[in-house]
Amino acid sequence: MRKGLVWRIIGGILFGLSSLTGAAAAPVVHDGAHLLTPQQRTTIETTNQNWTTTRQRPQLWVYTYARLSDSALSGFDYDQPFYTPGNDLVDRLFTRIAEEESGVTDPSDWAVTSRVNRLHHRVSVIMVFPDHGWHTVITPSDDLLGSMSDLEQWWITQRLPNKQGTGRSAMTFFNRYSRFVGHHVANAKTIKPGMSADLLSFLILLPFMLWGLIHFIRNFHNITFSSGPYDDYGAWNAYWFGRWMGGDHSHHGGPWS
């Protein structure tokens, strides 16, 4: 009897911890448009399950929608492949999950907002939906945003099929981002961005800058002066060295007065 009570307590603790992460309250895959194959769904679910035991416990969910209301689609800008301005679908999704977890229907309540913030912190969501043609977009988590420099954002978004809406486009997004998350977020001790475009440009230009500096110094030492009795730069240097050693000879008398 006592052993059963202990296990119930442990189970309650584990359930509470899973609720705090926000990952167990909703499926990592919601295929409302029926675009994904069973194998693709399994890949997404297995990848996310494996991440639950890592240091940062990231999540990368995939949601497809057969249709959406006009209000849900207002303000979208598909010229931004990494983060689509106007996208409030994920906010609505996280709010609904938080309300179901907490049993509170007020989105401004702390029990809801705290859970929403935790979801935004770790969970990135890939979404596929129709909007005057199909689209595939991603809303990155705070951790994913914090792990990517501008150069990495440019690299990872190259040739992504954001103006397509198929199971293949969803998996193209998932495979590319999951590789990055697995290497740069999941087990990172400290989440930080990689090399920036400015730093890369500086490193590329550095050899040319050094060569130019060395060339300038060499040419400077070969400067000659065409006027006066001391045309050679070395003689000119010796002249000023002599004045310095002799002080102001116009007042103290000397060979240069």
Express each pLDDT in 195-248 by its tens digit: 555 545 545 655 656 666 676 676 766 655 555 554 555 555 555 555 555 555
Q: Tell me which amino acid residue 46 is.
A: T
Count other C-beta atoms under 10 Å from residue 111's C-beta.
Answer: 13
Q: Which residue has the higher pLDDT, 20 or 132?
A: 132
Q: What is the mean pLDDT of residues 109-138?
A: 92
Q: Is the pLDDT of residue 16 over 80?
A: no
Query: Which residues make Cβ contacts (< 8 Å) with residue 202, sequence separation at least 6?
Result: none
For residues 58 and 188, give the distance between their C-alpha atoms in angstroms, rounded to a whole number: 11
Instruction: State pTM to two decimals.
Output: 0.69
* 132 DSSP 8-state letter: S
For residues 64 and 28, give the distance between their C-alpha atoms in angstroms, rounded to a whole number: 11
Handedness of CA 109, 115, 121, 124 (dihedral sign): negative
For residues 199 and 252, give the distance between their C-alpha atoms in angstroms, rounded to a whole number: 57
For residues 113 and 74, give the distance between their C-alpha atoms in angstroms, rounded to a whole number: 23
For residues 101 and 103, give the distance between their C-alpha atoms in angstroms, rounded to a whole number: 6
